[in-house]
C-alpha cells in the first residue's frame, strides 16, 4: 500500500470527517449511532496499522539478527522481507478492523449512499460504487424508515460540494411558465409580423403602404383577366403563388422606403 486509501484521504481528521458526514446526518440518511461511530473510527489510528506492523516486524527481525548473532548471509534482506511481511499483515489487520466497523453499523445500505455522497462532495464525478443502484437502495431505506415512523428529508437526493450554498430543492412548478414566456420572447418573428410592427410604429407611411398594396392588387387582378383571356388556366402551386405575392409586396415596400 504505497499510497493512502480512499478512506484515509477522505477522512484525514475528525473535523473534516464531521464536515463531510453532517449533511447526511441532518437529512436523516445517516443515523446518529452510525455518525458517531464513523467520526470516531474513520479518522482514528486504524489508518496507521500497515506502517505499525511494518516497523514492528522489521525492527524485531533486525534486533534478532543483531542480538542473537545469527549467521545469515544477507541480514538486510532478512530485515527487508520481514518488513514487507509485516506490511502485508498490517493490511490484513486494516481491513479486518474496517469489516468490524461495518458490522457495527445500524444501516449498512444507507452508509453506502453516504460514502458515495462524500465522494461527490470531494469533487469526484465517478461514482464510488458503480454497481450500486442508488434509487433502489433509497427506496428500500425510505420504506424501512417509514415502518419505524421515520421520514427521510428530500435533501438526500442532493449531492453538492462542501461549502456550496446553492439550494437545489427550490420548487420547480413555475418552470414551465417561465420556459413558455422565454420561448415567446426568443421565437423569431415572421416577416409579415415584422412588417406589421414596423408599419404600426411608423404611422407616417401607413397610408402610402395601403396605397401601394391596393395598386398592386389592382394590377394583379388586371393581369389575371388578361391571362385568362389569352391562355388556358393552368394549375399553380399555392405555395409558389403566395411566395410570389409576398415578394412583390416586399419589393413595393422597399421602393416606398427609398422614395421617402
Helix (H) or strand (E) holding 192, with range, is: helix 191-201
Handedness of CA 248, 254, 258, 260 (dihedral sign): positive
Helix (H) or strand (E) holding 15, with range, is: helix 14-27
pLDDT of residue 137: 80
> Are 101 and 37 within 8 A, CB to CB?
yes
Listed range (12-16, 61-65, 194-198, 228-232) with the worst mean pLDDT: 228-232
- Tell me the mean pLDDT in the region 95-122: 91
pLDDT value at 6 more than 70: yes
Cell digits of residue 32: 446518529
Residue corresponding to grid cell 441532518: 26
- Tell me the mean pLDDT in the region 88-117: 92
pLDDT of residue 14: 93
In a 13 Å sphere around the CA of 164, the CA atoms on its Cβ side amount to: 14
pLDDT one-digit tens code per residue, 123-167 = 888 877 776 777 788 788 777 777 766 666 544 543 444 444 344
Residue ranges of the domains in the chain?
6-157, 191-259
Please report, in angstroms and rounded to a whole number, the separation of the first and last CA atoms in the chain: 86
Cell digits of residue 99: 469489516
pLDDT of residue 158: 38
Highest mean pLDDT among 47-56, 183-192, 204-213: 47-56
pLDDT of residue 16: 94
Cell digits of residue 174: 413555475
From 231, 64, 31, select the one nearest 145 (Cα to Cα).
Answer: 31
pLDDT one-digit tens code per residue, 71-93 = 767 788 888 999 999 999 999 99
| Residue 53 banded pLDDT, cuts 50, 70, 90 | very high
pLDDT of residue 205: 47
pLDDT value at 26 more than 50: yes
Percent of the chain residues past pLDDT 70, beyond the cut: 56
- Tell me the mean pLDDT in the region 51-63: 91
> Are 34 and 107 within 8 A, CB to CB?
yes
What is the C-alpha radius of gyration for the chain, rounded to an integer number of angstroms?
40
> Are 141 and 179 within 8 A, CB to CB?
no
DSSP state for residue 158 in the 8-state scheme: -
Listed range (52-66, 73-87, 114-128, 200-214) with the worst mean pLDDT: 200-214
| Residue 1 banded pLDDT, cuts 50, 70, 90 | very low
From 177, 156, 180, select the one nearest 26 (Cα to Cα).
Answer: 156
pLDDT of residue 41: 95
Distance CA 37, CA 15 (A): 14
pTM of the model as a whole? 0.52
Mean pLDDT over the full length of the chain: 74
pLDDT of residue 157: 45
- Tell me the mean pLDDT in the region 22-28: 91
Distance CA 91, CA 120 (A): 26
Percent of the chain residues past pLDDT 90, beyond the cut: 28
Amino acid at each position: 500500500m504505497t499510497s493512502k486509501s480512499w478512506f484515509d484521504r477522505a477522512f484525514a481528521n475528525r473535523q473534516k470527517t464531521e464536515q463531510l458526514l453532517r449533511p447526511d446526518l441532518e437529512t436523516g440518511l445517516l443515523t446518529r449511532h452510525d455518525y458517531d461511530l464513523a467520526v470516531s473510527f474513520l479518522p482514528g489510528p486504524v489508518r496507521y496499522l500497515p506502517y505499525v506492523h511494518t516497523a514492528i516486524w522489521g525492527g524485531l527481525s533486525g534486533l534478532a539478527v543483531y542480538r542473537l548473532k545469527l549467521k545469515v548471509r544477507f541480514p538486510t534482506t532478512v530485515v527487508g522481507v520481514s518488513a514487507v511481511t509485516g506490511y502485508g499483515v498490517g493490511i490484513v489487520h486494516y481491513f479486518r478492523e474496517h469489516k468490524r466497523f461495518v458490522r457495527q453499523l445500524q444501516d449498512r445500505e444507507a452508509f453506502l449512499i453516504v460514502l458515495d455522497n462524500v465522494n461527490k462532495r470531494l469533487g469526484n464525478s465517478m461514482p464510488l460504487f458503480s454497481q450500486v443502484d442508488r434509487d433502489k437502495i433509497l427506496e428500500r431505506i425510505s420504506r424501512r424508515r417509514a415502518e419505524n415512523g421515520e421520514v427521510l428529508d428530500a435533501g438526500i437526493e442532493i449531492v453538492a460540494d462542501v461549502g456550496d450554498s446553492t439550494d437545489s430543492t427550490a420548487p420547480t412548478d413555475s418552470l414551465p411558465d417561465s420556459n413558455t414566456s422565454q420561448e415567446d420572447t426568443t421565437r423569431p418573428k415572421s416577416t409579415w409580423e415584422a412588417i406589421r410592427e414596423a408599419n404600426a410604429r411608423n404611422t407616417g407611411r401607413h397610408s402610402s403602404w395601403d396605397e401601394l398594396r391596393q395598386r398592386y392588387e389592382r394590377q394583379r387582378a388586371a393581369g389575371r383577366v388578361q391571362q385568362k383571356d389569352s391562355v388556358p388556366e393552368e394549375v399553380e402551386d399555392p405555395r409558389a403563388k403566395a411566395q410570389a405575392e409576398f415578394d412583390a409586396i416586399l419589393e413595393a415596400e422597399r421602393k416606398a422606403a427609398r422614395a421617402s
